[in-house]
Structure 1
Amino acid sequence: MLELKNIKKSFGSRTIIDGLDLAIPEGSILAIVGPSGGGKTTLLRTLAGLESIDSGDFLLDGQKFNPMNLKEQEQVVGVVFQDFQLFPHLSVFENVTLAPKLVLKEDKEVYTKKAQQLAEQLGLAVLLNQYPYQLSGGQKQRVAIARAMAMNPRVLAYDEPTSALDPALRQQVENLILDLKKQGVTQIVVTHDLDFAKNIADNLLEVSPVK
């Protein structure tokens, strides 16, 4: 279980997150819904160790951890950002395997097998040798998810996964997230789309900008 206790974060005089408490059971989906300025993306960045908090505690299975101080091999939360952040000069296979190869120091046989399994799982098997410019938005998103999962995070988080997607792709994303839940993947979904959130979430957190 991932827990957040009294998390606070400010930028200058502006309070972004004010005393947030959360418990995310293993294998569940938490959707965080609200308008821009509510701290949703900032929360994901703190969980991923990309932003520090001012105070509070993060716990995994009852043990405190600091996302900023984790070894690279100990990723707790993997984040799929809104713009996907794929490397344009690398193939799908290379995008997925780069971090396992360089950070996890996995052998070629290990990271190749993992990439193939993730590609099968996410419907990317025929795309491994293609490059990001050859992919649709939905396909790029699946590659970004595979890349995050390749680092073996305990929790997979998404920043606005349905942003700018048409209804058919939105449904695909919904199905994918629910399929991953069936496989036991713990997920956090940040979205402005309340209907989408209600369709996928076990628990719903509605946030608004701190006054």
Structure 2
Amino acid sequence: MLQIKGLSKKFGNKQVIDQLDLDIPTGSILSVVGPSGGGKTTFLRILAGLETADEGTFLLDGQAFSPELLKEDEQVVGVVFQDFQLFPHLSVFDNITLAPKLVLKESKEKYTEKARKLADQLGISELLENYPFQLSGGQKQRVALARAMAMEPKVLAYDEPTSALDPALRQQVEELILGLKENGVTQIVVTHDLAFAKNIADNLLEVSPIK
């Protein structure tokens, strides 16, 4: 279980997150929904160690950790950001395997097998030699997800996974997230789409800008 206690974050005089408490059971899906300015992306960036919380305690299965102090190979939360952040000069295969190779120090045999398994699981096996400019938005999203999963984080998080997708791709993302849940993956989904959030969530957190 991922537990967050008393999380607060302020930018200047603006309080973005104020004493947030959350329990996210292993294998469950938490949807965080609300308009822009409610702190949703800031919350994900703190979990990923990209922002530092002003206050708050983080526990995974009862063990305290600090997201910003974790070593690269100790990732707890892997985040798929809205713009995917793929390396344009690398193939899909190289995008997926770069971090396992350089950070986890995996052998070529291991990271190659991992990439092929993830690609098969996510339906992108035929795209491994392609480059990001050759991919659709939905395909880029799956590559970004495979890259996050390759680091074997305890929790997967998504920032607005349906924002640029048409209804058919939105349905595919929904099925993908629910499929990962069946495999026991703990997930956090940040979205402004309430209907989508309700379709996938075990628990729903509605946020709004703090006055």
TM-score by length of structure 1 reads 0.99
Residue 167 (structure 2) aligns with? 167
Unaligned runs of 5+ in 1: none
What per-residue deviation string (whole Å, max 9, x for no partner) do you get for residues 2-47 of structure 1?
A: 0000100000110000000000000000000000000000000000
Residue 33 (structure 1) aligns with? 33
- 1:46 and 2:46 equivalent? yes
Alignment of 1:120-199 (within 5 A): 120-199=120-199
1:3 and 1:83 map into 2 onto residues whose CA distance is 27
Residue 110 (structure 1) aligns with? 110
Q: Provide the aligned length of Structure 1 versus Structure 2.
A: 211
TM-score by length of structure 2 reads 0.99
What per-residue deviation string (whole Å, max 9, x for no partner) do you get for residues 186-209 of structure 1?
A: 000000000000000000000000
8 Å Cα contact 2:52/2:68 also seen in 1: yes
Q: CA RMSD in A?
A: 0.4
SS at match of 1:32: strand
1:26 and 1:210 map into 2 onto residues whose CA distance is 29
Residue 74 (structure 1) aligns with? 74
What per-residue deviation string (whole Å, max 9, x for no partner) do you get for residues 115-155 of structure 1?
A: 00000000011110000011000000000000000000000
- 1:202 and 2:202 equivalent? yes
2:4 and 2:161 map into 1 onto residues whose CA distance is 23
SS at match of 1:45: helix
Residue 64 (structure 1) aligns with? 64
State the 1:163 CA deviation: 0.2
State the 1:49 CA deviation: 0.2
Match of 2:189, as an amino acid?
A: V
Match of 2:61, as an amino acid?
A: D
What per-residue deviation string (whole Å, max 9, x for no partner) do you get for residues 161-203 of structure 1?
A: 0002110010000000000000111000000000000000000
SS at match of 1:68: helix
Match of 1:28, as an amino acid?
A: S
Unaligned runs of 5+ in 2: none
